[in-house]
Amino acid sequence: MDSIRIDTGVKRIQINDGPDFIEFNPTEVNWGRKFEKLRVEVKNRLDELSLEISQIEENETNIEEISKLRDDVCVFVREKIDILFGTGTSQKVFGDIMSEYAIASFLEEITPFIQQGRRPLVQQYLPKKNRHKK
């Protein structure tokens, strides 16, 4: 029987050299916009966190209040990651770790895969002289 294989654009990325993978489709029409929105929301929330922590530290060092703020940010971002990459992604990637540094690392590590997957889509709209610039 004849068959065809369709490249749907789905990327499958192994997590920390372990048995878990995440899958996403950077070629999907709205996916790039959703990822950029996530990056902006995370950056804004981390900026807010930094400001809030500075204000707490100016008044009086309150480790419990700072920890609560950091935890809230991690929960917020993990929920956003799960919305974009699929339910359970945050648990696969971070386990039970609640760390804004781990989240930032994930976003930095995943970005090149997203850019690579979207590059052919974007290049078709660039002038020919700019198509092969990285």
**Domain ranges, residue 87:** 29-113
Contact 74, 45 (CB under 8 A): no
Amino acid of residue 69: L
pTM score? 0.74
Query: Residue 21: its pLDDT value, please?
Result: 92
Residue 33 belongs to some domain of the structure: yes
Query: Residue 112: its pLDDT value, please?
Result: 86
What are the structure tokens assigned to 25, written together? 């489709």
pLDDT tens profile 47-84: 888 888 788 777 666 778 888 888 998 999 999 999 99
Q: How many domains does the chain have?
A: 1
Residue 9 belongs to some domain of the structure: no
What are the structure tokens assigned to 131, written together? 């198509």
Q: Give pLDDT < 70 ranges for the chain.
A: 59-61, 117-126, 129-134
Residue 72 belongs to some domain of the structure: yes
Residue 62 belongs to some domain of the structure: yes
Query: Residue 130: its pLDDT value, please?
Result: 57
Query: Residue 121: its pLDDT value, please?
Result: 59
Kindly write down the DSSP assignment for every residue of 57-87, as one continuous string.
HHH---HHHHHHHHHHHHHHHHHHHHHHH-T
Contact 84, 38 (CB under 8 A): yes
Could you tell me which of 50, 53, 103 has the C-alpha nearest to residue 74? 103
Per DSSP, the three-state class of 133 is coil
Query: Residue 95: its pLDDT value, please?
Result: 94
Residue 121 belongs to some domain of the structure: no
Residue 11 belongs to some domain of the structure: no
Query: Residue 64: its pLDDT value, please?
Result: 82
